[in-house]
Structure 1
Amino acid sequence: MKILAVSALLCAMMALTTAAAVAEADPEDAETAVELDVVKRTHCHSGWKLIGHRYFFYVAQHLTWAQAEKKCVSLGGHLASVHSQWEYHQIRSLIKAQSHGHPAAWVGGTDSCQEGVWRWSDGSCFDFKQWCRGEPNNGLGTNQDCLQINFSCNKCWDDLWCHHRRPSVCVRKW
């Protein structure tokens, strides 16, 4: 019995060592292994799309910003934060694939705590901006405290009244 266990352990170690050696020797094989791992992780989180190191989910239902955040929390995340031009492009591609268009959608930006100080609902740093020209403008003093993306023909960011209903994008870590 011990011989079988040791043999199985030895075979497993050899397989892992061989896989690691192949990955080091041929970067394309390593890339394929990573792609397969991404497919497995994406499949495990049905409906969520892996972008970078986080999962994103498009919610087609038109909700207020607060309802959208609550929906994202119920799914294990928050409204999406955006941290780079590349990530913004990927999120817009996700919206297009799911909606077959470019609707404006909620993400997690808000300045409701302090006017003019934008924060992400997931607590991450507000380190990237894609505001439309002249935005955020606070609706000319009427408290537009929530961030919509894909606004106007420029597909940029706009501050909007939070009671408006939009589809949304959620994010969660994997």
Structure 2
Amino acid sequence: MQTHRSGCHREEEVSRCQRIWDMKLLTVSALLCAVMALTGAAVIPEEETGPDQEEETFLDKRSTSCAAPWSKFNGRCFRYFPKRLTWSRAERNCHSIGGNLASVHNIEEYHEIQRLVLTATYEHKPVWIGGSDAHQEGEWLWSDGSQVSYTNWCPGEPNNHGHQHCLQMNWGDEKCWDDLSCAKRLPFVCAKRT
């Protein structure tokens, strides 16, 4: 008499037990793949060069200072996150990976962030960036502490309609900035220094 895993003895039981075992193994494999996909790959730290070693130079600086899926632009790394979060949760998420919600300092940076969103979603989706006037109405600050030196407000914005204290971009037909309630859930863009 043949004995199989889980104490299966008869041939029909062995076949049934084998199918159950195969389904358990398939389920565990699928869960493992899902966890890996959702958490992303760990970033491997770059090796430091010593005083008598030359640093290797690459033509594509994106690959050396902003590990995928980050994108380098103007000395910072940017990354689009499709998960819809409130502004404060999005900021905490960015902070947990060494950055902040993106600040925008010129039209080129704005277009680069738009490009990231468009590449990921095939449309100009509204997203959170790091502007807020929650501390004092009308005084907009970036969450990374940098100065607000560039703005791209839509006509009539910011209007604080219904306690709107957080900044979304790609709003309306003009794909410009709008103040929005911080409790709304949007995808977001993080930035960090290289």
Deviation at 1:70, TM superposition (A): 0.7
CA separation in 1, counterparts of 2:98 and 2:122? 25
Would the alpha carbon gap of residues 37 and 51 (structure 1) be closer, same or farther in structure 2, given more than 3 Å must change? Answer: closer
CA separation in 1, counterparts of 2:61 and 2:129? 28
**Of 102, 110, 113, which aligns to 2:132?**
110
**Amino acid paired to 2:85:** L
**Of 151, 158, 174, which aligns to 1:136?**
158
CA separation in 2, counterparts of 1:63 and 1:124? 23
Higher relative contact order (CA 8 A, sep 6+): 1
Look at both structures and tell me which one has the larger radius of gyration over its CA atoms. 2
**Of 176, 180, 191, which aligns to 1:160?**
180
**Of 115, 118, 126, which aligns to 1:96?**
118
SS at structure 2 position matched to 1:87: helix
Identity %: 42
Structure 2 residue 171 is the aligned partner of structure 1 residue 147 = no
Q: Which residues of structure 2 form unaligned runs of 5+?
A: 1-51
CA separation in 2, counterparts of 1:154 and 1:120? 22
Q: Which residues of structure 1 form unaligned runs of 5+?
A: 1-11, 20-32
**Amino acid paired to 1:67:** R
CA separation in 2, counterparts of 1:161 and 1:38? 34
SS at structure 2 position matched to 1:56: strand
What's the C-alpha RMSD, in Å, of the aligned pairs? 1.8
CA separation in 1, counterparts of 2:82 and 2:93? 11
Superimposed CA distance per residue, residues 94-116 of structure 1 (whole angstroms, 9 cap, x where no aligned partner)? 11111221110000000000000
TM-score (norm 2): 0.69
